[in-house]
Structure 1
Amino acid sequence: MPSTRTAGVTAPVALSPRRRELLDAALHVIADEGLKGLTHRAVDRRAGLAEGSCSAYWRTRSALQAALTEYVAHALLADVDRLAEQMRACGPDEQTGVEAALELFLRWLDQRELLVARLELTMAASRDAGLARLLADHRSRLVTLVEEIMSAAGKEHSEERAEALVASYDGILLAALLKPARSRRGFLTRSLELLGTSLAGEATPAAGA
């Protein structure tokens, strides 16, 4: 049985090792079979656990999807939180910010299961009000973080600009996911630089300048 541990995924502190093991297995199931393949039995098989292990924690498929949505959103937000800290530390240095974002995106692309699960769950949310509410809460937090990053970089910023950037990043990540691994860095570098000059706006003048 191949390992189901998804390297680099930051789990909520309160999540038990067994729950994390099952959710990591669920990420692999989605990456291999799509959301339609996500069943308790499939997760148990992928984790190498006895049948009934997954349903002991999440009785219904909806409960499993909701838990997985929280897991994925938490992992991505934790990474963005760390990026925001980096940006605050380096100040209004645009090149440092682009490089930090580039490395984060490349790491996400290496975690294919995490990105594919997010895309699948986002599509499911268009038909599931409960999932939509979960994703809306986390997306609002993500937009706030991106706005903070823009502010730390000395860029003109607003909620509307941040929301447009988040949507653009989603598209860039999807496009990069479909490219050969060897060409992803170049594609991401060019795309982030283009976004930095188009949507992010000009640097905010320093006081008294």
Structure 2
Amino acid sequence: MPPLPDPAETPAARGATLSPRRRQLLEAALHVIADEGLRGLTHRAVDRRAGLPEGSCSAYLRTRKALQAALTEYVADRLVADVDELADRLRGNLQKTGKAGGVDGALELFGRWLEQRELLVARLELTMAATRDADLARLLADHRSRLVQIVEAIMTSAGREHSDARAEALVASYDGILLAALLRPVDERRAFLSRSLEVLGTALTGELEA
């Protein structure tokens, strides 16, 4: 099985080191960027959203670039921590549950993410910003590599033939499904997710074709 990072370096462990005030500011920044877009992400807007005195955000994150970088890592860590949790639950069970277990687990996770609209929209905004910012791109690349590593571990547990290229393609496909679901009416999202994940589930945990 591909080695997973040390537990001390997991997103959950890193997130636990955030001070309550820093976490409060990053949560406020997440909602600002989701509601107002990247242009609306200013120290003053974050302070207002957090209900804190003006100057609070800049005391922790002095520049706008530092604010964007911290928010990028915060959002990515939260998403990867959720995937870590799913991988832990599936790792020992895929031989028993097969494709259905993988699809059900992904459907549960994606459904939860879609209920956290701000988290997904913020990630999309920051991903677009990363196409013009090499530092943000490096942050997202580090987290994406971890996602690929987790997908490879799940495929190995399922006895599924895998490679870096195949795992990367699956991660990209899941990103596309999430975006497409987010653009659909709320009452259509779960059915769309279920259909799409069923198709991709074969690639992740299904039997190889002869």
Q: Distance in 2 between matches of 1:109 and 1:40?
A: 27
Residues 107-152 of structure 1 deviation map (CA, whole Å, 9 limit, x = unaligned):
0111111101111111100100110111111111111111111222
1:25 aligned partner: 28
> Contact between 1:69 and 1:118, CA under 8 Å: does it hold in 2?
yes
Please tell me whether residue 64 in structure 1 is matched to residue 75 in structure 2. Answer: no
Name the amino acid aligned to 2:22.
R
Counterpart selection for 1:86 from 77, 84, 89: 89
Name the amino acid aligned to 1:41.
R
Q: CA RMSD in A?
A: 1.7
**Secondary structure of 1:200's partner?**
helix
2:177 aligned partner: 172
* Mean CA deviation greater in 179-188 or 33-42: 179-188
Structure whose residues are more often helix by fraction: 2
- Contiguous gaps of at least 5 residues in structure 2: 1-10
Counterpart selection for 1:183 from 173, 188, 194: 188
Runs of 4+ more than 3 Å apart? 199-202
> Contact between 1:156 and 1:202, CA under 8 Å: does it hold in 2?
no
Q: Distance in 2 between matches of 1:145 and 1:32?
A: 31
> Contact between 1:161 and 1:200, CA under 8 Å: does it hold in 2?
no
Residues 43-78 of structure 1 deviation map (CA, whole Å, 9 limit, x = unaligned):
000111100000000000000000001101110111
Q: Distance in 2 between matches of 1:200 and 1:25?
A: 36
Name the amino acid aligned to 1:34.
G
Please tell me whether residue 40 in structure 1 is matched to residue 43 in structure 2. Answer: yes
Name the amino acid aligned to 1:147.
E
Percent identity, please. 72
> Contact between 2:94 and 2:101, CA under 8 Å: does it hold in 1?
no
Q: Distance in 2 between matches of 1:196 and 1:96?
A: 9
Counterpart selection for 2:121 from 105, 108, 116: 116
Task: Quickly say closer, same or farther: Cα 1:204–1:86, change in 2 above 3 A.
Answer: farther
Instruction: Tell me which of the two structures has the higher relative contact order, counting C-alpha pairs closer than 8 angstroms and 6 or more residues apart.
Output: 2
Q: How does 1:60-209 map to 2 (within 5 A)?
A: 60-92=63-95, 93=97, 94-197=99-202, 199-200=203-204, 202-203=206-207
Name the amino acid aligned to 2:100.
Q
Q: Distance in 1 between matches of 2:67 and 2:140?
A: 15
> Contact between 1:35 and 1:120, CA under 8 Å: does it hold in 2?
yes
- TM-score, normalised via structure 1 length: 0.89
1:155, CA displacement in angstroms? 2.0
> Contact between 2:155 and 2:205, CA under 8 Å: does it hold in 1?
no
Counterpart selection for 2:15 from 12, 17, 22: 12
- TM-score, normalised via structure 2 length: 0.89
Residues 5-34 of structure 1 deviation map (CA, whole Å, 9 limit, x = unaligned):
xxxx96701101111111110011011100
Q: How many positions carry a matched residue from both structures? A: 196
1:3 aligned partner: none
**Secondary structure of 2:204's partner?**
coil
1:185, CA displacement in angstroms? 1.0
* Mean CA deviation greater in 92-101 or 25-34: 92-101
